Amino acid sequence: MPYHSRKYKLNESFFSIWSPQMAYVLGFWYADGNMRHEKSYRVRFSSNDGNHLIEVRNLMSSNSPLMWESKGICQTFAVMSKKLYFDLRKLGGRPAKSNILSFPKMPEKYIRDFIRGYFDGDGSVHKITFKATKNGKYYTLIRSNFTCGSKNFLESLSYTLHFMEGFPKKRVWQYGEHQFKLAYSQADTFKLLQYMYYEGHVGSLKRKAVYVNSITK
């Protein structure tokens, strides 16, 4: 039963029960979402990939329309729900969250879904090419990183990956006033991608998942 009558469909209990889908969407919201309470309780998601927003929206059993931001840079969709809003608050969600994020507590088996969601929002995989000083040859390597306005969040993420999967302890680097980065080398990047984009996972940014599949097999 819906929590109250509404214009658009929504599973208002989506953030009430842990599941791979819920953990993934929570992670993506931590990266590219916001919330506010003025005249209504609003939870919003943003992306420059409309198809990905549609996937997130479908996971939440919603049909809220996608809207373009004022400058046409990215698309958004918003859901209005007091229950969803306060369930998200219990999971660490806050308005103006960027610089105060903390890694949420969750059942261990959903951590990689949450991390994949965050990575799809504020993570990247890229190639770097450099010239070796010893032999003058050029080499290309794969790197990955997570970015965030909260150093505490990335430090907790680094600790979680170290404790859960044996990744090396990594230093979080600051590259702006409120900009931090957690980076991994090529070998750890392959391991990280296979950990997050495991076979049968539910929810992912398709172009990133396709790229991951191409470089890890």
Confidence bin at 1 (pLDDT 50/70/90): very low
Question: What are the residues whose beta carbons fall under 8 Å from the beta carbon of 17, sequence distance 6 or more?
Answer: none
Confidence bin at 140 (pLDDT 50/70/90): confident
Q: In whole angstroms, what is the distance from residue 217 CA to residue 212 CA?
A: 9
Q: What is the pLDDT of residues 66-119, one digit of tens each?
A: 998 867 778 999 999 999 999 999 999 998 888 899 999 999 999 999 999 999
The alpha carbon dihedral of 27, 30, 34, 38 has a sign of positive
Helix intervals (H) in the chain? 20-32, 50-59, 82-90, 111-122, 151-165, 186-196, 206-216
Average pLDDT of the residues of the chain = 90
Domains and CATH numbers, the chain: 116-216 (3.10.28.10)
Residue 76 to residues 32, 62, 95: CA-CA distances in angstroms?
Answer: 10, 13, 16
pTM score above 0.85: yes
141's tokens: 């390597």
Of the two residues 199 and 182, the one the predictor is more confident about is: 182
